[in-house]
Structure 1
Amino acid sequence: MKDSMSLKDMESYRGRLEVPDDFDSFWSKEIKKIEAKPFKLIKRNFGDNIKNVVFYDLFFKGTDNGIVHAKCIFPAHEKNIPVVFYFHGYMGQALDWVDFMQYAAIGVGVVAMDVRGQQGQSVDNGTYAGNTVLGHIIRGAVDGPDHLFYKNVYLDVYTLIETVADMSRVDKEHLYSWGGSQGGALSLIAAALNPRIKKCATQYPFLSDFKHVLEMGDRGLPYDELFRYFKFYDPFHKTEDKLMRTLSYIDVKNFAHRIKCPVLMFTGLEDDTCFPATQFAIFNRIESPKKHMLLPEYGHEAMFYYVDSAAFNWLFDTKFPENPPDTSSNALE
């Protein structure tokens, strides 16, 4: 099912609910609670044939006693390395090591975090009242914004950036974020919570405009948990206003005004998972330099090298071709 809103309306749409009055103070207080934490770097050896790249497992303690893991891939024997923080999609984990070696080829490091409680090595040790049967959006919501699962994940993102920025080999003035779906949301959160991020690229970001999602109806994963909450816990929606307010503290559109760096966003107009309107609600609230690249025939799916190369070129000011080579008969003459 396509989004109910026309493209013309989406171009000025800012979402269904406004930012809570205490939103910024809430997040400022949460960030101030974070103390410098020890971290562990464990070097990985993938054989003697790989000489120009070094690999590390990074572990640190996150909020609520979580253990956060990230893969670190750096060009060997280099200092002042720019770093891109890569974030993965919902229920997944960081890509394989080899998928990030392209960055090392141009002298850029990659740090890819596993979201706690999903498929990677990060561990969520939090305890939550209410529904923990399916999904992470509403986990902890019955106890208010202080107890939200994603609050901890967002703070993990902030802490990760601080931890990596302090590494001696890293150029802390050239830090970037990039990801799709849940990863697209976390890329934006990275820029919103930590001003060290100098560029942010995001592909069909998740976790935005929950009220619009509710109005569109259940389309299955990954928002199914929102509808299951009402179906099994509150079928008459007596707590809807309270729940929507609680979730507003992790609604990505509400972080947009905090972003100070340039943003590049990719949206497929056929997306029936993260509805285009929910993505426009983020984009239209961003006050920093921004560019929105629309793909009319694409949904929530792989966008092949068109998007990957466009993001790569934009983040690192490279000029790799974004279109396939001309293989027409004239081109071969």
Structure 2
Amino acid sequence: MKTRFCLVLLLFALAAAALRAGEFSFSCRTDKSPLEYALGEKMTFTLRLLEDGEPLPGKKLVWTRTGDDGRKESGEASSDSPLVIETSIDRPGFVRIKVDPFDADGKPLMRGRDKFGFDGGAGAAVGQIGGGEIPEDFDAFWAAQKAELAKIPLKVLEMKEVDSGDPAVKCYDLKIACAGGMPVSGYLCMPKNAEPKSLKAELLFRGYAVVGASRPVKQGKERIAFQINAHGIENGRPESYYNELKNGKLRAYGFRDDENRERETTYFRGMVLRLLRALEYLKSLPEWDGKTLAVSGGSQGGFQALAAAALDPDVTQCFAGIPWLCDLSGITRGRLRGWRPNYAPGLDYIDSAFFGTRIKCPVTIEAGLGDYVCPPSGVAALYNGISAPKKIVWKQGRTHAYSPRNAETFVQEAE
């Protein structure tokens, strides 16, 4: 019996090892913090291709160096030894290093269904990276938008209780009247039988997508948690409903050049009006403690969180993960583009970096040195422009969709 038991344990161990086998990763080290290089100073990147944490020889490594200075370099090497890349940049900004590994047959290494590779970098004079010129009437424009919103009474259009899956949490599918042509639409969760003025409140946002809100049950166990969808559309509908919108009315929303020429017609204006109305609604709830009002989101949700903190002085905490729409005019000054709309003057009024300059509450940001949906230079411009207490956590090798398990992190913070 004991022998059989040991054999079973051995088989489980072998099966577990087989499942772990073949996990590719890159180690990347710079000769100093990737945030602390001076202009023109040599940067040295040392990279190693790993499989299950051990060096993986016999692969071809194809690398490219691009950057906010417009320079491009490339080369090839073998994974038999560490790959060392030396470069520099002579203007405030970031260098991007990409490495793609290939096997002996020229096939790329894969991580699941995706090509595997490294994407990261380093910056010079990072503290000097700034955004573009904020429009002189930026504050006046948003004051006028708030005035338009105030003309629409704060009114619940629909409030339908839905199953939270937790007997201690109540949840509602909620729609609220709003300016801009679409209502606020989301899920509101909070503890059952909460006393008046007993709960903190949090407004949550999602990334770029044509989807409904998710039910924030976990957050709703201890606070008022309201997650809204970006568009004011229905929540909890079949996938076909969202696909129809994605391929029709909301196709490439936010990317239409004709809309972005004017501040009044950019799609993001309505998005901001809806988050302002959602905050207004949260503050009207009797259970809110009248003190703590947090906003949080990632990517597009990070943009929304920053806009909320900038435009509502009652917001007390802001978390923006890999925030989108930072320094949108940066591409006109030679910075790496990222995934974002073409620059147009109307976008100056919804730039996350510009919103950052208006925030008064503490802000926490997460960013990737390999995220070229939301390029590091734009996120640095956001961080540098914030005068409130702030913290940013950078991760080497983090892209927009992938965060390495054991990557180095680098923290900047200021009171």
Q: How does 1:26-41 map to 2 (within 5 A)?
A: 26-35=141-150, 36-40=153-157
| Partner SS state of residue 268, structure 2 | helix
Partners of 2:405 and 2:307 lie apart in 1 by: 25
AA partner of residue 155 (structure 2): P
- Tell me the residue number matched to 1:127: none
AA partner of residue 159 (structure 2): I
Partners of 1:299 and 1:96 lie apart in 2 by: 24
- Tell me the residue number matched to 1:85: 203
Could you tell me how far 1:301 is from its partner in structure 2?
A: 2.1
Q: How does 1:1-333 map to 2 (within 5 A)?
A: 4=68, 5-6=93-94, 7-15=123-131, 17-35=132-150, 36-40=153-157, 42-46=159-163, 50-79=166-195, 80-93=198-211, 96-97=214-215, 100-105=216-221, 107-116=222-231, 120=235, 134-138=252-256, 141=259, 144-213=262-331, 215-216=334-335, 222-223=339-340, 225-226=341-342, 243=344, 245-301=345-401, 303=403
Contact 2:219 2:225 in 1 (8 A): yes
Contact 1:132 1:139 in 2 (8 A): no
Name the structure where helix makes up a greater proportion of residues. 1
Q: Residue deviations 1:300-329, cap 9 Å, x none?
A: 1254999xxxxxxxxxxxxxxxxxxxxxxx
Distance 1:267 1:250, change over 3 A: same
Contact 2:294 2:316 in 1 (8 A): yes
Could you tell me how far 1:183 is from its partner in structure 2?
A: 0.3
| Partner SS state of residue 20, structure 1 | coil
Could you tell me how far 1:14 is from its partner in structure 2?
A: 1.2
Q: Residue deviations 1:270-310, cap 9 Å, x none?
A: 1011101111111110110001111112111254999xxxx
AA partner of residue 259 (structure 1): I
Partners of 1:42 and 1:132 lie apart in 2 by: 25
Partners of 1:84 and 1:279 lie apart in 2 by: 23
- Tell me the residue number matched to 1:317: none
Could you tell me how far 1:120 is from its partner in structure 2?
A: 4.9
| Partner SS state of residue 129, structure 2 | coil
Partners of 1:41 and 1:305 lie apart in 2 by: 43
Partners of 1:75 and 1:305 lie apart in 2 by: 34
AA partner of residue 176 (structure 2): F
Name the structure where strand makes up a greater proportion of residues. 2
> What are the ranges of 5 or more consecutive residues in structure 2 without an aligned counterpart?
1-63, 69-92, 95-122, 242-248, 407-415
Q: Residue deviations 1:192-238, cap 9 Å, x none?
A: 0111110001111111211224645665xx42x52xxxxxxxxxxxx
* TM-score calculated relative to the size of structure 2: 0.60
Contact 2:186 2:226 in 1 (8 A): yes
Contact 1:92 1:119 in 2 (8 A): no
Q: Residue deviations 1:88-123, cap 9 Å, x none?
A: 0011445532xx332234x22211010117785799
Distance 1:267 1:70, change over 3 A: same
Contact 1:3 1:275 in 2 (8 A): no
- Of the structure 1 ranges 193-202 and 35-44, higher mean CA displacement relative to structure 2 is found in 35-44
> What are the ranges of 5 or more consecutive residues in structure 1 without an aligned counterpart?
124-130, 227-239, 307-333
Could you tell me how far 1:133 is from its partner in structure 2?
A: 5.7
Contact 1:141 1:147 in 2 (8 A): yes
- Tell me the residue number matched to 1:326: none
- Tell me the residue number matched to 2:116: none
- Tell me the residue number matched to 2:19: none
Partners of 1:66 and 1:95 lie apart in 2 by: 15
Partners of 2:368 and 2:125 lie apart in 1 by: 16
Contact 1:85 1:111 in 2 (8 A): yes
